[in-house]
Structure 1
């Protein structure tokens, strides 16, 4: 298990971020395509291809590999997309992101599943829609060898004192979707912060078994999606690492902790990243102690 981080600790400046992450001691990287989404949507495929090759070159020059990528984001719902997207243009963007991931050497691209409409629908209807949508990515996945890892989310407030259910906020829903897609290049991404907001105990991570291919490691207070470093919130990290050990998780410990790093002055950012690496080493040590027990 390597210690990895999303490049979103630096916003969109990958040329600055990659060497600083290397100097801090990170062993792998996550590329956040979503951070570049507005810019990518203005590029031709030829421009995006050249851009991806440049990013790969910088990573290679620094001796770092990209082991996962956060793919494009469609919005809260499939019928409530971010500006500039509809279902067809998002599908095109998703396919392009898989080709970019292939250039970067990324094995797993993380996507959000979601509900469909503002009015809401049954879980069965949401599952069927998500299955049909993600199946459309199979030809590109099989051509590139790049897999998709679907991420758990959390229920969101709909109005004061009410909560709108979010499809795949529960592990059981996400696992059911992964199994319905039934493809070796489909797995799961555990977002520890989303699970904590949802009130899911780390013991439930064991439900993923060998489906788990990627992680978004971050902490919070159990109420807000704060994207903090471990031990800055209230997640039980010993329980998280015990569960990852028990399912023999093979992927990386990948931080999505930009809110703990971006707030630092530039003069302190590398020191903050070294501290993040030290925390990761401690967590992996916990997993190692469990293996030797």
Structure 2
């Protein structure tokens, strides 16, 4: 199994706020020992971001050139999604821009020669009356144009399990992994599968290993991260810094014959740039240990 990480892990210096260039970021990841990278395109789609511009392809080409120059292939990408209160407002600002950017993300994933693009599922505005049936209907309609676009360019889509906020509100494909499995099986396309975010499962009250086993043949990709389940916060910590049982997680990946990469989605925390190389090497050491548990 190969070790990968989201470029989020090393995309800026927390001490100064300076954003790293694609070459700086991917070069450091390669030197640290990563085998591949997950390019997080989502933040580039925020209003004013590079994916909203007419010359958006130049940004993607820069990442592609950096990946090639550093010998760090792109295994997966993270596509655009809504954020904040947009979920609860069907007429939120920039709606059409979000749609355009998501279509661009599909093309970008192809440009980067990724194996798949990860997407968040859609859910209806939160209500005191939750309907899985109505949410699935809305999600199918939401995903349809992006799946169609992906089919045209030969790109696979991995739909990610989300967070269920319990008593505050239900979220479609949140804590119930079987909603996500049913969604993918309803789509019934061999190029549409699942991305398991271990942290999302953990704080939603589901054992991440059980989620992996349930996803089984539908598992295309991973977002590996840890957290403290009782806090209910999406902390995106390095494995072993929270309370997930990583021996079970890796055994589950072995049980389902997972053929993809072990991909981190870790918060860079507050590690300053000066300590970045040591931090990255440490994350690789943890990753290699995890992989050994599945061998």
Q: Where in structure 2 are there 5+ consecutive unaligned residues? A: 13-18
Root mean square deviation of aligned Cα: 1.8
Matches within 5 A, 1:105-120: 105-119=113-127
Among 170, 189, 192, the alignment partner of 1:186 is: 192
- Which SS does the other structure have where 1:230 is aligned? coil
Q: 1:67 maps to what in 2?
A: 75
Q: 2:136 maps to what in 1?
A: 127
Among 282, 285, 293, the alignment partner of 2:292 is: 285
State the 4+ residue runs in structure 1 displaced beyond 6 angstroms: none
**How far apart in 1 are the matches of 2:8 and 2:43?**
7
**How far apart in 1 are the matches of 2:92 and 2:186?**
30
The structural deviation recorded for 1:121 is 4.5
User: Greater strand percent: which structure?
Assistant: 1
The structural deviation recorded for 1:50 is 2.2
Residues 237 and 138 from structure 1, CA distance in 2 versus in 1: closer, same or farther, beyond 3 angstroms?
A: same
Is 1:165 the counterpart of 2:170 in the alignment? yes
TM-score, structure 1 as length reference: 0.90
Q: Over residues 254-280 of structure 1, what are the superposed CA-to-partner deviations in whole Å (9 max), with x where a residue is unaligned?
A: 11112xx34112121111111111111
Q: Over residues 7-55 of structure 1, what are the superposed CA-to-partner deviations in whole Å (9 max), with x where a residue is unaligned?
A: 11224532321100000000000000012122135301xx112221121
Is 1:36 the counterpart of 2:41 in the alignment? no
Moved more, 147-156 or 73-82: 73-82
Matches within 5 A, 1:10-25: 10-11=11-12, 13=20, 14-25=22-33
Q: Where in structure 1 are there 5+ consecutive unaligned residues? A: 289-293
**How far apart in 1 are the matches of 2:45 and 2:93?**
10
The structural deviation recorded for 1:179 is 0.7
Matches within 5 A, 1:43-62: 43-44=53-54, 47-62=55-70
Matches within 5 A, 1:2-13: 2-9=2-9, 10-11=11-12, 13=20
Aligned length: 279
**How far apart in 2 are the matches of 1:185 and 1:203?**
23
Q: 1:291 maps to what in 2?
A: none
Residues 69 and 212 from structure 1, CA distance in 2 versus in 1: closer, same or farther, beyond 3 angstroms?
A: same
**How far apart in 1 are the matches of 2:90 and 2:283?**
34
Q: 1:154 maps to what in 2?
A: 163
**How far apart in 2 are the matches of 1:147 and 1:79?**
28
Residues 63 and 196 from structure 1, CA distance in 2 versus in 1: closer, same or farther, beyond 3 angstroms?
A: same
